[in-house]
Amino acid sequence: MRTAATGSAVEQLWDRSALHRSVASMVVGVLVLLWAFLAARGDATFREQIGPLNLAVVGGVLAGAGQGGWLLHGRRRLGRRRRAVHQHLEPLLARHRVAASAPVDSHALVTVAGATRRHRAACLLVAGKPTIPTGDGLVDCEVCRP
């Protein structure tokens, strides 16, 4: 799949090889757990169950490693995607930061095209909107009270 914005190929979070590695590790872990269960099920004493218990721990670790590897694989690729999107958006964000940091004459009266109210340039109701200077003839904003 390709993105519309950059035209570059999108890397899937998980591919078949990651799936196969994860499933193989989990299957081996579950088989080891089953083997440990079968080895310990007829033994009544703790001493006889120590070996199968150790085997069960190994099986649990293998199954958990399969799950953890699966999640880390997806997390790593998600981080790469996030960095790629951030690199694409950084020039746009930089332009926005420059525009937002421009000084505003708070006493200047402005309006938005087609609006019926006039505001102070620093009014929150017109912040970030394209404004035009205005004089009399419009209703005063009830928020900024020019």
User: Which residues are at the interface with Zn ion (CB under 5 A)?
Assistant: 119, 123, 125, 141, 143-144
Element (H, E) at 14: none
Q: Report the chain's C-alpha Rg in angstroms.
A: 32
Q: Which residue is nearest to Zn ion (CB)?
A: 141
At 83, the amino acid letter reads R
Q: Which is nearer to Zn ion, 33 or 110 (CB)?
A: 110
Residue 124 CB, nearest approach to Zn ion (Å):
7
Handedness of CA 102, 107, 109, 111 (dihedral sign): positive
Integer Cα distance of 79 and 87 in angstroms: 12
Residue 141 CB, nearest approach to Zn ion (Å):
3
Q: Which is nearer to Zn ion, 6 or 106 (CB)?
A: 106
Q: Which is nearer to Zn ion, 33 or 115 (CB)?
A: 115
